[in-house]
């Protein structure tokens, strides 16, 4: 799940230890290629590409992989990808938003529907659950960037809407259309952020207190994220302290 929650923190730790780093690198490289193909291949002149490169660097993607992904966008053999959003309900009615990038819509739709069905969920129409989320920019800074008051002041001056600080770091939220401008303004006052990306932020997350439900959700999310066409999966849930500890 993208977004600041216990689940996001669990995913962050899992990500660092993930044995399937090549799959993660491939998805990040795909986003870089698409961003570069849609705009200027220079990250300084292409906000989407700049953010994609920043996200890749935050996940330790090697520079040569990033450079190859940008060069690939300028070649005549670069694949044409469609960006598609799927929406549905997982176990216990938990809403999920699935973002995909595919060169074969039929294949991706069939796979995503199959994952939901096997998990006892239901794939809905576009718009069926996204109204429960806000599309926002999320910028993350480590605790070393400053205390909560310092970061809050810098964020508000940069045009951000909200800041959440905890033992993991500082999470700054802004309008989706303002992400690049806010990120650039924050770099002038706080230095470079760890990540800056667009997310689907749940408006009112449902707390999952049942380990069985959590396990089913994790299985569904793992299946979705393991699909080469799926870029991001977001759910409107949070795990209780007890369940998070078990996970």
Neighbours of 46 (CB within 10 A): 19
The token pair that represents 219 in the structure block: 């299985």
* Burial per residue of 148-184, b for 16 or more beta-carbon CB atoms within 10 angstroms, e otherwise: eeebbebbeebebeebebeeebbbbbbeeebbbebbe
3-state secondary structure of 45: helix
Question: If pLDDT is split at 50, 70 and 90, which confidence band does 44 have?
Answer: confident
Residue extent(s) of CATH 1.10.10.200 domains in the chain:
13-74
- pLDDT of 145-184, one tens digit each? 999 999 999 999 999 999 999 888 999 999 999 999 999 9
Residue extent(s) of CATH 3.30.70.980 domains in the chain:
81-246
pLDDT at 2: 43
The token pair that represents 110 in the structure block: 């069939």
Task: Select the CATH number that applies to the domain covering 13-74 from these four: 1.10.10.200, 1.10.8.290, 3.40.640.10, 1.10.3720.10.
Answer: 1.10.10.200
Contact 191, 145 (CB under 8 A): yes
Distance CA 43, CA 36 (A): 8
Query: If you average pLDDT over every residue of the chain, what do you get?
Result: 88
**How far lies 213's CA from each of 71, 88, 239, 244, in Å?**
44, 16, 10, 12
Stretch 120-124: mean pLDDT: 92
81-246 maps to CATH 3.30.70.980: yes
Q: What is the DSSP string of 171-191?
A: EEEEEGGGHHHHHHHHHHHH-
Residue 139 scores a pLDDT above 50? yes
């Amino acid at each position: 799940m993208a977004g600041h929650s216990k689940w996001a923190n669990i995913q962050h730790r899992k990500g660092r230890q993930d044995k399937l780093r090549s799959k993660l690198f491939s998805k990040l490289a795909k986003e870089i290629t698409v961003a570069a193909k849609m705009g200027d291949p220079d990250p300084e002149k292409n906000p989407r590409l700049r953010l994609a490169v920043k996200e890749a660097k935050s996940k330790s993607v090697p520079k040569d992989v990033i450079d190859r992904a940008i060069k690939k966008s300028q070649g005549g053999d670069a694949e044409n990808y469609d960006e598609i959003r799927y929406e549905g309900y997982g176990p216990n009615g938990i809403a999920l938003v699935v973002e995909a990038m595919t060169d074969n819509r039929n294949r991706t739709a069939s796979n995503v529907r199959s994952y939901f069905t096997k998990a006892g969920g239901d794939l809905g129409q576009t718009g069926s659950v996204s109204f429960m989320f806000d599309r926002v920019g999320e910028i993350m800074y480590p605790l070393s960037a400053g205390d909560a008051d310092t970061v809050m002041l810098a964020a508000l001056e940069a045009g951000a809407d909200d800041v959440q600080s905890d033992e993991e770091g500082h999470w700054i939220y802004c309008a989706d259309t303002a992400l690049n401008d806010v990120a650039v303004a924050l770099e002038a006052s706080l230095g470079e952020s760890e990540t800056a990306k667009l997310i689907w932020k749940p408006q009112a997350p449902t707390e999952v207190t049942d380990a069985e439900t959590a396990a089913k959700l994790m299985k569904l999310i793992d299946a979705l994220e393991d699909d080469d066409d799926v870029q991001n999966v977001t759910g409107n849930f949070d795990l209780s302290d007890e369940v998070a500890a078990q996970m």
